[in-house]
Structure 1
Amino acid sequence: MDTDDLYSVEVPETAFRTPCGGNIGGSLESCVSFADIPGEPGAYAIRDTKLGAASPTLRFSAAEMTDFVIAITGPGDNA
């Protein structure tokens, strides 16, 4: 599916989860929440936890998510 089409898929609010417990809280909190995009294996919707449901949501296909992880962690760390 084209990335533009990922924005047309409904992602329920309850699907979002936060993988970390947070840093120091307040305005310096740095966690994200993410959700699987229904019907699109490996595709994710990602947003900033500070704004919750009001946060803009970025959506990535499986290939884009892999590229993102490699860019952040380096090749070989994306098991």
Structure 2
Amino acid sequence: MLGGSFNALARSYLHRPEPDPERAADAARSALDAVGAQRTSWVADVSAQMWRQLDARWPTLDAVRELGHLVEAGRRNTLPSTDV
């Protein structure tokens, strides 16, 4: 539940008349932190979507890049193992 609240906060920062991408990225990162290793899909998917929107407009911001690394790391951790 807390993860969803952080994602809602991230959206509010992004959809302001004057968007605040750094705070949006921080809130989306907090959403991922809130769910921890569980990476609940409805939280992780929304955070990933938020990152794509941020990355399209502000790819050079450190907060956006850090969020991207977290999103990608979570995606790699949820992929099935290829070990045989």
Shared fold (TM-score greater than 0.5)? Answer: no
TM range (shorter): under 0.3
**Greater relative CO (CA pairs within 8 A, separation 6+):** 2
Higher helix proportion, which one?
A: 2
TM-score by length of 1: 0.25
